[in-house]
Amino acid sequence: MMAPDDGQQTDRARSTIFSSTRFRCLLLFLALPFLLGAKNQGVKEHVVCRDGFLEIVSAESISIKDCRRLAKTTIDAWNFDMKQMNWRTWKNKNRKLKLRLLSVKTMEAKHPNTYAFAVSTGDLIVTSTAVLHGRPASVGTLAHELGHIQAYRVTGSKRSGKVPAYYWEGHGISMGQSYLKMLGITTPKLNAERTRIVAKLTTGEARLILTTNRAYFKGNSQKLFRMEAFGFFFAEYLRVRKGMPIARMGRVFEQVGHGWTYRQAFKQVYGITINQAISDVIAFMERTKSNPSERFRGTLLEKEPL
């Protein structure tokens, strides 16, 4: 899940990208009674507008003008993510995608501290109606969640759990931040917080994030946020320090979708084992512990204050 991260959000609003409910979205296909319909919402859900494969639905009163603007924004972000990942083995890429708009009140009641989330079936995004009138940085939310949708589609919902949480979030945040950078939109407050977390992160905790998966943050929203921030840093480390194009993240999802383990896919795509990559990034953090700004040189976090 993700939210507008323009640096003007409160701590509560900040969780629209990194919330305590973040990784429920990885397993939300287990909650189909809510996700597949609005039967229990009182007001009947209806299709507000369509644009190609995208269908926007809501039980709220949404103007056609607002709906069409959101549809265009969503498809622009979708196409950006598609280009970034250069998916190679994806059949029916543009199968139907539903975007469900919940009122701000309903979203807060059903999914506290959440702005938007993607469902691992690869067919549904749920977001607050705040996206209709959000700050410019809200487009980063869409690029983030659409990145998840695309990864779900190539991986398959039955195998999505094979990819560690930090890698999912590294990918999603990378899509959102890359899109915002391309549009010239900055997110100083949230990125500064990510930077501070990674700058202060011990090598021991970093290793736990990369080796214990969900056990690290289970039931702890602060650790969840730390995992997400470090997942993004790990993706940037591979891109900047190892010289690996961001599209290689897509290759890992594809290989896992073909039946490979995450370890097998990682080694095939990056040319080193995941254990070696972990050892390398931990050693890099150890070398830069007295000069944390060096950790971020060349990354999307480079200019953020510590």
pLDDT band at 189 (very low <50, low <70, confident <90, very high): confident
Write down the residue that tokens 């939310």 correspond to.
141
pLDDT of residue 149: 96
Expressed as residue numbers, the domain containing 114 is 11-296
Q: What's the confidence (pLDDT) of residue 32?
A: 40
Task: Evaluate whether residue 302 is within a structural domain.
Answer: no
Domain presence at residue 305: no
Question: Per the domain annotation, does 6 fall within a domain?
Answer: no
Q: Is residue 155 assigned to a domain? A: yes
Residue 1 covered by a domain:
no
Is 174 part of any domain? yes
Kindly give, in sequence order, each residue whose CB lies less than 8 Å from that of residue 176, ignoring residues fewer than 6 positions away: 2, 5, 17, 140, 141, 143, 144, 147
Query: How large is the average pLDDT for residues 2-6?
Result: 36
Q: For residue range 38-53, list pLDDT tens digits in order.
A: 444 456 999 999 999 9
Distance (Å, whole) CA 279 – CA 134? 41
At 305 the pLDDT is: 59
The number of domains in the chain is 1
pLDDT grade, residue 139 (50/70/90)?
A: very high
C-alpha pair distances (Å), 47 with each of 19, 40, 59, 71, 145:
28, 17, 9, 12, 21
Q: Can you give the CATH number for the domain in which 54 is found?
A: 1.10.390
Q: Indicate whether 3 belongs to any domain.
A: no
